[in-house]
Amino acid sequence: ITEKGERVNVGVGKCHRFSLLCGEKQSSVLKWQSWGLIPRMFVYIFGPPVEEHPTDITPTFLTTGVLSTSSQADFEDHNILRESGYAGKISQMLVILTPLHFDRDPLQKQPSCQRSVVIRTFITSDFMTGIPATPGNEIPVEVVLKMVTEIKKIPGISQIMYDLTSKPPETTQWE
């Protein structure tokens, strides 16, 4: 990590700092294939349209509760992927717990207390470059929707997102 707080990626030699990402919600049929046209960090946000964007974050520390939530989401997703028979087609699947609590009315001054989950699938032969597993192509849409349904049952989860960023520009892991 540099003096400016930027992370240096091993093997890449450049400093990357991602503090913003682009997310999309569609109220109609999901158009997964159109996502490949966006070359930067991009996630799809499941559920109803986001009414209020997060303006702060949920304080998150490595407590038993936070680790339990993260582990449960990871277990559910990997179990569903394994049962579907697609685990061998995905090089890596990360389940990331983020401190984002969506849809809080700013006038009510409700503190941020929930977290969101990002599913990041990755297909690669060498981990130097790679692509996300696009629902409907490399992974069935039904499998992804089942993951979302099961994660949403976990207490304290605000939103579920699916990362469709390739490498480059993203790294293999989330930062």
Domain ranges across the chain: 21-163
Distance of CA 169 to the CA centre of its chain: 16
pLDDT of residue 34: 57
In the predicted structure, residue 15 carries a pLDDT above the cut 70? no
pLDDT band at 140 (very low <50, low <70, confident <90, very high): very high
Note the pLDDT tens digit of each residue in 89-103.
Answer: 999 999 999 999 987
Name residue 128's amino acid: M
In the predicted structure, residue 12 carries a pLDDT above the cut 90? no
DSSP state of 49: P
Note the pLDDT tens digit of each residue in 29-85.
Answer: 556 555 555 555 678 888 877 777 788 889 999 999 999 999 999 999 999 999 999
pLDDT of residue 167: 85
In the predicted structure, residue 16 carries a pLDDT above the cut 50? no
CA 38 to CA 7: how far, in whole Å?
A: 23
Please name the residues in contact with 51: beta carbons below 8 A apart, sequence gap of 6 or more.
103
pLDDT of residue 37: 54
In the predicted structure, residue 174 carries a pLDDT above the cut 90? no
In the predicted structure, residue 117 carries a pLDDT above the cut 80? yes
* Closest to 77 in 3D by CA, of 141, 132, 145, 136: 145
pLDDT of residue 25: 60
pLDDT of residue 33: 58
Classify 21-163 by CATH class. alpha beta
